[in-house]
Amino acid sequence: MSLGSWGAIVGNVLLFGLVVGLAATVEREAFVRSMKSRALVVGAFAQFAFLPLVGFGCAKAFFADDPALGIPLIITTSSPGGSYSNWWTSLFNGDLSLSVAMTTVSSIASVGFLPLNLYMYTEGAYPHEAKIKVKWAGLFVSIGVVIGAIVSGLFIGTRWPRSRKTLNVAGNMFGVLLVLLGFFFSSNSSAPIWSRGWKFYIGLMIPCFAGMIVSLIWARILQLERPQALAVAIEVVYQNTAIALAVILSSFSNDTSCTNVASNDCDVVGIAAGVPTFYQLIQILSLGVLCVTSWRLGWTYAPVGTPLLKALATNFQPSTHVEYRQDQIDQSTSAQDLELARSGQGVEMSADVREHVAPA
C-alpha cells in the first residue's frame, strides 16, 4: 500500500476522532436548538453560493490558462465546512453547538451541492479542458466520516455525559495530529508552495478573506449573538481541504509526455495539491487573527478579562439550563441565575459573579 493510501486512512481516522470528541461535548438540547438558528442560513448561503462563486471568479481572473490551479481552487471553495471549524470554535469558546450544527448541515447538503457546484463552475471556467476531469469515486468518503462522527459523538455525549471533558481533550489532540499530518505531506511535495508566483497567493487569499468578512457582516445584520457570529465566520472560512485534496489525488495525473520529469510543469499532482495546502495555511493564519481579536473584544463565551491561556484551556460553553447572552457579562447576575449557579447548573463564572454565589 502506498504512502498516500496510508495517509488517507490515517487522516480519516484522525478526522473521525476529532469530530467525535468535539460533538460529544455538545449537549443534545443545545444542538437541537442550534439546528433552528438563523445562523444556519448564513452559513449555508456563504458556503454553497457565495464562496463557490468567488472561487470561480478568481479561477477566471488569475488562472484562466492554468486549470491545474483553477480547478483545485473551485473544488476547495465548493467543499463543505471543515471539522477543524469545530476545533477552532471549541478552543476559543465560540458557540460550539452551533458550529457542530452548521458542520452537520453543510456536510449533508454537500452531497448535492458539491457535485453541482463542481460541474457548473469547472465547465464554466474550462469548458474545453480534456486532460483534467473530476472523478466522483471516493468523493463522499470524508463527508460520510464527518456525518458518522457527529452522530456518534452526540450519542456518546448524551449516553455517557461524564465522558464529555475527556473526549473534548482527546478531540483537540486528534485535531493537532491531523494538522501535523497535513504539513508532513505538503513538505514532501515536489512543487513547494513557497515557490509559486504572485497570482497563486493572491488568487487563493481572496476567497478566504471575502468569506470571513461577508459572513461576519451578515451575522451582525441578523443580530446574532457575538459568539454565534464568531462560530459562523469560522465555519465559513474553514473549508474541508481534506475533501478537496482527496478529489485532486483521485482526479489528477502527471503528464507522462514530459521529457524533463524534474520540471514542475510535469508534476501536475504536486502543483494541484498545493492549492488546498496553501488554502489551509491561509485559513489557520486568518482564523488565528480573527479568534484572538474576538477574545480581546469579548466576542466569546469566556468572561471579559479572562487571560488568553486560561480561555484556551477552559471550556466556557454555556449549559442549556441557563440562557446565555453576551451583553450580560458586565451586568449584575439575576437572582434566578445565582440560584442556578449555587446548584451547580450555571455557566462558567467570572470572579465578580463568584463573590455573589458564595454561601452566606
- Give tens-digit pLDDT for 282-306: 998 999 999 999 999 999 999 999 9
Which three cell numbers mark 41? 442560513
> Considering the entire predicted model, what is its pTM?
0.72
Q: Can you say whether residue 69 is alpha, beta or left, with left for phi > 0 and alpha for psi between -120 and 50 degrees?
A: alpha
What is the average pLDDT across 112-121?
87
- Give tens-digit pLDDT for 94-111: 998 888 888 878 777 877
Residue 119 phi, psi dihedral angles, 5° rounding: -65, -45
- At 226, the pLDDT band (50, 70, 90 cuts) reads very high
Query: Under DSSP, is residue 239 helix (H, G, I), strand (E, B) or coil?
Result: strand
User: What is the Cα–Cα distance from 269 to 121, expressed in whole angstroms?
Assistant: 20
Q: How many residues does the chain have?
A: 360
- Give tens-digit pLDDT for 301-337: 999 999 999 999 888 888 643 444 444 444 444 445 5
The sign of the dihedral angle between the CA atoms of 255, 203, 136, 133 is negative
351 CB neighbour count, 10 Å cutoff = 9
* Euclidean distance between the first and the last CA atom of the chain, given in angstroms as a whole number: 67
Statement: 3-297 belongs to CATH 1.20.120.450: no
Give me the residue spans of the domains in the chain: 3-297, 319-357
User: What is the Cα–Cα distance from 318 to 265, expressed in whole angstroms?
Assistant: 52
Which three cell numbers mark 327? 451583553
- At 119, the pLDDT band (50, 70, 90 cuts) reads confident
What is the average pLDDT across 233-246?
81
Which three cell numbers mark 19? 469530530
- Give tens-digit pLDDT for 70-100: 998 998 999 887 667 888 998 999 998 888 8
Shortest CA distance to 232 belongs to which of 44, 78, 76, 104?
44
- Give tens-digit pLDDT for 168-218: 788 778 877 776 766 666 566 566 777 788 999 999 999 999 999 999 999
